[in-house]
Structure 1
Amino acid sequence: MAGHSQFSLLTQRRFLPYFTVQALGAFNDNVYRQAIIGLLFFLGVSSAERTLYTNLAPAIFILPYFLFSGIAGQIAERMEKQRLIRITTLMEIAIMSVAAVGFLASNMILLLVALFFTGVQAALFGPVKYSILPSVLRPEELTGGNGLVEMGTSISILCGMIYGGLIYQVAGAWGPETAAASIVALAVLGNMAARRIPVVDAGDPSLKVNWNPFPENLRVWKLTRRTPAVRNAVLGVSWFWFIGTMITAQLPTYAEINLGGAQELYIFALALFSVGVGVGSLLCEKLSARTVEIGLVPLGALGVSAFMLDLYFARPGEALAAGLGAAEFLRQPGSWRIAMDLAGIGLFVGFYVVPLYALIQSRTPRGELSRVIAGMNIQNAVFIVSAALAGIAVQRLLGWSIPQLFLALAIANLLVATYIVTIVPEFLMRFLSWLLVRTLYRLRIQGIEEHVPDEGPALLVCNHVSYMDALVLAASTPRPVRFVMYHRIFDIPVLRWIFRTARAIPIAPEKEDPALMQHAFDEIDRTLAEGGLVAIFPEGRLTADGEIAAFRRGVERIVERAAGRGQAVPVVPMALQNMWASMWSRRGARAGEGWLGRMRLPRRLRARIGVVAGPPVAGADATAASLEAAVRNLRGNNP
C-alpha cells in the first residue's frame, strides 16, 4: 500500500466528478441560505421579522427529510446512480432559477418555497451520496473516500456561508443580482460535473417503489436496526449531527458574549471547527492503514469530550472585552487555548464520524444500502431538530450559559459513547487492538488490497510468531476476520476479552480436547459458508526459534470440508515480517515460563513490522507443503 493515498482518488474519474458534485451542492445550499439572511438586512426588515425568517428557514429545509426520505431511498435503490445524480442536479438548476427570481423580486415567500424544494432535492440526493461509494471504491479505499467527502462537505459549508454572507456586503446595490447569478451558476456547474460520473448499477433495480411516505419512512428506518453494528453506527452518526448542530447553533452567540467578538470572530470560530473536522476526516485513512477501523470511534468520542470540557474551563464566563476581530481576539490571554479547543473538537469529530460511515457502507448489503442511508437521514433530521430545541430549552427554561451547555454536552457525549460500545463491544475491542498495534509498531502492508477478496469466503494462512499476531493481521485487513487460535492463547488475560469480542475461534489438538477441536471446525465451516474470512496459523504453535515450522494438515481438512459441501474456498498465503524481535514473541524464553514471563523488551520502540499477502491459491491446489513454501517466500529473510 506504500505510495497509495486517498488524494489519488481526486485524479480519477470514478471519484472526482462525484466529489465535485457533492461539494458544489453543499456550497450552493449554504450560499443560498446565507444570501436569504443577507437579503433581509438589505431590505431593512425589522429585527423581529428577521428573527422569524432565520428560525423558519432551517425548519423549512429540514421538513422534506421527514416527508420524503423513505421514497428517496427506494428511488436511489432502484435507479442507476449516475442517472439519479444527473436528475437531482437538473432539479437544482430549476429550483435555483426560481430562487433567482425570488432574489430579483425581493420576494421572501418565493425564496422560502424554493428553499423547501431545495430540501426535497437534498433528501433525494442524500441516499445516493453515500450509497454510491462502495460501488466505486474498493473496501480499503472506503475510509479515505469518506474522509475526502466529509472534508469536502465541511469546507464547502464553511466557504458557502462566508461567500453567501459577503454577497450583499461586497456587491452592495447589485447584491440581489449577484446572489441570483451565483446560485444558478453553481447549480449548472454541479450538473456539468454530474455528467462526468461513470455509470453505476442500481442496488436493486427490481424494487417496487411505495409512494406512501409515512409507512415507507418507518420501513427504511427499521432497516437501519437490522444489524447491531450498523444500528449503532447509525446512532453514532445521528449523535454526530446532534453535537454539530448544538455547537454551530451556539457559536454566533458564544463568539459575541463569551469571546467578545462580532460577525468576524464567529466566522473565525466556525472556521476552526470546520477545518478541524476536515483535517480529522483526512487523517482517518493514515491512522486506520486503509482499513475500516472502527477503533477510531471511541478515540474520537473521548477526544471530543476532552476538548469540550477544556473549552468550558477555558472560558466559563462572559468576555471582558467586546467588538474584537479575529486578530484582536488571538492577542487576548487564553485565546489560543480556546482556538485549540475548537479545532480539537472538530478534529476528533472527524475521527468519530468517518469510520461510522465506512462501517455502514461495508456492513450493509448493496441492495439495501440506499434505503439504510435514507433511514439514517430520517433519524439525523430528528436529532438535528432535537438539538435545536434542546439548545433553546436549556438556555431559556434552565438559564444555562453556553459554556454550561458545552459542559453538559461533553458529559452526554461520554454517556452516549459508553452506551454504544457497551451494546456493540466490537467498537471498544477494535480501539484497544488499534491502540496496541499502533503504539508498539510501525506497520507496513503489502498485497492485502490485491489478494484478499473484497467479498465472499477466503481462508487466510500465516506464520505464527507472537501473541500479537492476530491483532496485527486484524489491523491489516479491511474486512472482519475470524481467527482460529490455540485455546491457551485465546485465554490470555486482557487479550481474552479482545479475542472473544472479535469472535475468534479457540481450538485444541484432538488428543487434548476433541470436542473443542470439532467445535472449531464446525465454526470455520459456518463462517466460510456465510461468505466470511477465516485466518489460521497452520504451524499450530508459536515459533520457538523464529523459523517457520512445518504446516499441519488442518488447512487441507478445512478446504476438503468446504469442497464436500460444494464450496470452492480460495486460500490466501500471508506472512508476518520482523515480529521475532517483538516483546510478545518467545525469543529468549526459558523452559517453564508462562506467557507473562516470556515477555522481553523490544530492541527499539515502534519497530517496523510488515504484513505481506500473496496471490490466492485455489482450494483444490492448496496443500500444507505448497502453502508453507508460499509463506516462507513471502516472509523472506525477515523473521
Structure 2
Amino acid sequence: MSQSHPSQFALLRQRRFAPFFWTQFFGAGNDNVLKFAFTVLVTYQLQVSWLPSDKAGLVISAVFILPFVLLSATSGQLADKYDKASMMRFIKSFEILIMLLALWGFVGQLVPVLLLCLFLMGVHSTLFGPVKYAYLPQHLNDQEITGGNGMVEMGTFVAILLGQLAGGLLVVVPGIGPELAGGACLAIAVIGRLTAQAIPPTPPHDAVLRINWNPVSETLRNLRLARTDIVVFRSLLGISWMWFFGATFLSQFPSFAKDVLHGDVHVASLLLVLFSVGVGIGSLMCEMLSRRQVEIGLVPLGAIGMSVFAVDLYFAVHHLAAPAAELWTLAGFLGQGQHVRPMIDLFMLSLSAGLYSVPMYALIQMRALPSHRARIIAANNILNALFMIASSLIAGALLHFGVSIGGVFLITGIANALVAGYIFCLVPEYLLRFIAFVLTRTVYRFRIQGDTNIPTTGPAIIVCNHVSFVDPVLLMAASPRPIRFLMDSRIFRTPGLGLFFRLAKAIPIAPKNEDPAAYDAAFVAADQVLAEGDLLGIFPEGGITDDGTLKPFKGGVMRILEQRPVPVIPLALQNLWGSFFSRVEGTAMSKPFRRGLFSRVGLNVGRGIAAEAVTPEALHHEVGQLLATKVV
C-alpha cells in the first residue's frame, strides 16, 4: 500500500479495542489456570476413585465443552439483542462468582465443586464467544478487521499458554498450592471485570429480538441462515475443521512428548509453547500479508502449510532414538540435533493454522448480516465443539486400533489436504484469491493507491484500462470482495487463464455483430450481478491495448447504467505494459523473460462517480488522470 497505516499494535492504545482485548485475554487465561490446576490436582495429588487420573483430562474437557453445545444458540441471540459492552460486564461479574466458588473448591479440595466450576466457566466462555466476534466489526473499520482478529487470536493463545503454565506451577507449590491456584483465579477474574468496565458502549443490532430458548431449533435456524451465503457457511465449516485439526495435536502432546519424543513433562510444555507461539505469530502475520484487508487468499496458504508440516512431522519422528536411560530432560532434548526438525514442523504447522483461521473469522464478520452476526458465530461455536468432540473420538479410535501417535498426525495432515481441497472446489473464491495473492507478491511488487475508494458493500461498477491478460487477477487482489468481470469472450477462452476466469464466474461477451444473442445475454447477466449487490468489473476499451496507450471507451457501461444506476469506480493499472502478459511485442505470453520477477506494478483507484455524471468521455478522462498520477 502506498498509504501509511498504523500497525495493528496501535489498537492497544485505543479505548475501542484495548479494554476489550485485555478482557478477552484475562478470560482465556483464567479458563486455563482453572482447567490446568484442576487437572494437575486430580492427576498427581488426589486419588479419586470415580475420576481416575488417566480419564481426568477427557472428563474435564468434556465438562468444559458441554455448554458450547447446549447454550451457544441462546448466547448468540443475547449478543444480538443487548448492548455488547453491558453483556461483557455481566459475564465478567459472573466469572467472579464462579471463582469464589472455585476458591472454596481448591481450599477444600472438593472435586465435585471444581467440576461444577469448570462447567460454569464453559457457560462463561459460551456467552462471551459470540459477543467477542460480533463486537469487533462495530468498532474496527474494514482495513483494521484482519489486524484486530489477528491480535485477538494471538492474545488468546498466549493467554492459554500463560494460563496453563501458571495453573500447573501454582497448584504444586508445597503446602499452599491449591489455595494459590484458587486465589489466582479470583484475582484474574477481578482484573478482567475492571478492564470490562472501560469497554465503550456497543449498541445491539436487533433490540426487539424475541429469544427462542430452544437450542436445537435455534441452532438449526442459524445454520440455515448462514447457508444463505455459501462463502460464510463454508467458512464456518473451515474454522470448525481447524479446531478439529488443532485439538488432535493438542490432546496428544503429553503422550507424544513421552512416548514418541521420549521427553519429560517439560518437553511436553515446550510443545505447547511452540504451538501457542506459532499460532500467535501466524495470526499477527495476517495483517502484514493481507495489506490490511480481509485476504482469504491466505487460507489456502495456511491449509497447505498445515498439511505439509503435519505429514513431515510423521517422518521426522518415525525413527527417533530414545535416550539410553531416563526420559530426555528439556536441556538434553534441546541438545539433540534429531529434535530440531520435529520442533520446526510443529511450529510451522501452528503458524499455518494462524494464517488459515484469522481470514476466515474476519470474512464471517464482514459477510454475515449484522443483525444475525452473533447468532451465526454462536452456531459456529457449536460446530467447533462438535468437531473437537469428533477429534477426540476419532483419534481415540485410531490409537485403539494400533495406529501410532505419529500415524494419527499423518492421517490428520492428509485429511486436512482432502478437506481443504473439497472446500476450495465448492467455494473457488478462496483459490482465486490465493492465486491473486501469489501473483501480486512474487511476479509483481503490487502497490495500490486509493484502495479505500473500492466500496465494501453495495453494487458498483469497476472500470479500468486494459493492459494485459492478468488485469482481472490484479483487480481481484486489490478488492476487499469478489468482482464479476464482463470480458471479451476471446480472453475468456485463453488457455490456462480461461480456467481462472471461469472459476471467477466472469461473464463472456462477444461482439454484437458476431453473436447478438450472446451480446444481449451478457448484459442481462451483468445487470443481475448489480441487482444482487455485487461488484461488476468492466474494461471499457473493449480489448487489451496493443501499443500501451489508453484507447477510447465504448458505450457498454452506459447501457448497464441506464437499466441500473449505480456508482462507477475508475481505476488505472500502471507499469504493466512490457510484461510477459502484455502485447508489447505482438503475441502475449510468448517470451517469458520480458520483465524480471518482482517488477513494480501500480493501481490507482479514484473516487466513485454517480451514475448520472457518467459518460464514456468523462470516464476516459478520469482513468487517464489516474494513469498519469504515479503510485508511490
The TM-score with structure 2 as length reference comes to: 0.94
Letter paired with 2:614: A
Matches of 1:175 and 1:391 in 2, distance apart? 33
2:327 to 320, 323, 329: 323
1:580 aligns with 2:584: no
Q: How does 1:8-19 map to 2 (within 5 A)?
A: 8-19=10-21
Question: For 1:29-51, what per-residue CA distance to the aligned partner results, in whole angstroms no more than 9, with x for missing partners?
Answer: 10111121233367443696333
2:398 to 387, 391, 394: 394
Matches of 1:258 and 1:494 in 2, distance apart? 45
Matches of 1:83 and 1:162 in 2, distance apart? 31
**Deviation for aligned residue 1:350:** 1.4
Matches of 1:201 and 1:574 in 2, distance apart? 37
What's the counterpart of residue 430 of structure 2? 427
**Deviation for aligned residue 1:444:** 1.2
Q: How does 1:210-229 map to 2 (within 5 A)?
A: 210-229=212-231
**Deviation for aligned residue 1:509:** 3.0
What's the counterpart of residue 244 of structure 1? 246
Matches of 1:200 and 1:602 in 2, distance apart? 54
What's the counterpart of residue 506 of structure 2? 504
**Deviation for aligned residue 1:164:** 1.1
Matches of 1:9 and 1:524 in 2, distance apart? 40
What's the counterpart of residue 205 of structure 1? 207
**Deviation for aligned residue 1:600:** 5.0
**Deviation for aligned residue 1:327:** 2.8
Instruction: Decide whether the 8 Å contact of 2:43 with 2:56 is kept in 1.
Output: no
What's the counterpart of residue 262 of structure 1? 264
What's the counterpart of residue 371 of structure 1? 375
**Deviation for aligned residue 1:552:** 2.3
Instruction: Decide whether the 8 Å contact of 1:42 with 1:168 is kept in 2.
Output: no
1:613 aligns with 2:610: no
Question: For 1:97-127, what per-residue CA distance to the aligned partner results, in whole angstroms no more than 9, with x for missing partners?
Answer: 2212212222221111111111111111111
Identify if the C-alpha distance between structure 1 residues 410 and 168 changes in structure 2 by more than 3 Å, giving closer, same or farther.
Answer: same
What's the counterpart of residue 353 of structure 1? 357
What's the counterpart of residue 183 of structure 2? 181
1:115 to 113, 118, 123: 118
Letter paired with 1:490: F
**Deviation for aligned residue 1:319:** 4.4
What's the counterpart of residue 412 of structure 1? 415
What's the counterpart of residue 149 of structure 1? 152
**Deviation for aligned residue 1:513:** 2.6
Matches of 1:290 and 1:487 in 2, distance apart? 34
Matches of 2:316 and 2:45 in 1, distance apart? 39
Matches of 2:426 and 2:459 in 1, distance apart? 27
Letter paired with 2:330: A
Instruction: Decide whether the 8 Å contact of 2:570 with 2:622 is kept in 1.
Output: yes
Matches of 1:338 and 1:52 in 2, distance apart? 28
Matches of 1:558 and 1:244 in 2, distance apart? 48
1:630 to 622, 627, 631: 622
Question: For 1:52-101, what per-residue CA distance to the aligned partner results, in whole angstroms no more than 9, with x for missing partners?
Answer: 44332111111111111111111112122222122211211221122122
Letter paired with 1:13: R
1:168 to 154, 167, 171: 171
**Deviation for aligned residue 1:517:** 2.4
Instruction: Decide whether the 8 Å contact of 1:539 with 1:551 is kept in 2.
Output: yes
What's the counterpart of residue 89 of structure 1? 92
**Deviation for aligned residue 1:264:** 0.8
Moved more, 459-468 or 139-148: 139-148
**Deviation for aligned residue 1:488:** 1.0
Matches of 2:267 and 2:10 in 1, distance apart? 35
Letter paired with 1:578: N
SS in 2 for 1:443: strand
Measured on the aligned residues, the alpha-carbon RMSD in Å equals 2.0
SS in 2 for 1:368: helix
1:59 to 41, 59, 62: 62
What's the counterpart of residue 342 of structure 1? 346
1:571 to 557, 568, 572: 568
**Deviation for aligned residue 1:134:** 2.2
Instruction: Decide whether the 8 Å contact of 1:17 with 1:196 is kept in 2.
Output: yes
SS in 2 for 1:461: strand
Letter paired with 1:226: T
What's the counterpart of residue 564 of structure 2? 562
Q: How many residues align?
A: 626
Moved more, 54-63 or 241-250: 54-63
Matches of 1:311 and 1:203 in 2, distance apart? 46
1:134 aligns with 2:131: no
Matches of 2:492 and 2:295 in 1, distance apart? 22
SS in 2 for 1:465: coil
Matches of 1:239 and 1:135 in 2, distance apart? 27
Matches of 2:457 and 2:275 in 1, distance apart? 37
**Deviation for aligned residue 1:200:** 2.1
Matches of 1:523 and 1:23 in 2, distance apart? 48
Instruction: Decide whether the 8 Å contact of 1:70 with 1:375 is kept in 2.
Output: yes
**Deviation for aligned residue 1:340:** 0.5
2:525 to 506, 523, 526: 523
**Deviation for aligned residue 1:149:** 1.7
Matches of 1:341 and 1:43 in 2, distance apart? 34
Letter paired with 1:223: L
Letter paired with 1:160: G
What's the counterpart of residue 482 of structure 1? 484
**Deviation for aligned residue 1:136:** 2.0
Question: For 1:392-411, what per-residue CA distance to the aligned partner results, in whole angstroms no more than 9, with x for missing partners?
Answer: 22112x11211111111111
SS in 2 for 1:334: helix
What's the counterpart of residue 470 of structure 1? 472
Matches of 2:43 and 2:398 in 1, distance apart? 29
SS in 2 for 1:534: strand
Matches of 1:392 and 1:319 in 2, distance apart? 25
What runs of 5+ residues in structure 2 fail to find an aligned partner?
A: none
What's the counterpart of residue 566 of structure 1? none
1:72 to 75, 97, 101: 75
SS in 2 for 1:154: helix
1:26 aligns with 2:45: no
Letter paired with 2:96: I
Matches of 2:444 and 2:331 in 1, distance apart? 42
1:102 aligns with 2:105: yes
Letter paired with 2:309: F
What runs of 5+ residues in structure 1 fail to find an aligned partner?
A: 564-568
2:286 to 284, 287, 302: 284
SS in 2 for 1:139: coil
SS in 1 for 2:416: helix
Matches of 2:257 and 2:45 in 1, distance apart? 26
Moved more, 179-188 or 285-294: 285-294
Matches of 1:167 and 1:240 in 2, distance apart? 31
Letter paired with 2:377: I
SS in 1 for 2:337: coil
Matches of 2:517 and 2:42 in 1, distance apart? 76
Q: Percent identical across equivalent pairs?
A: 45
**Deviation for aligned residue 1:267:** 0.8
1:439 to 414, 429, 442: 442
**Deviation for aligned residue 1:245:** 0.7
Identify if the C-alpha distance between structure 1 residues 263 and 105 changes in structure 2 by more than 3 Å, giving closer, same or farther.
Answer: same
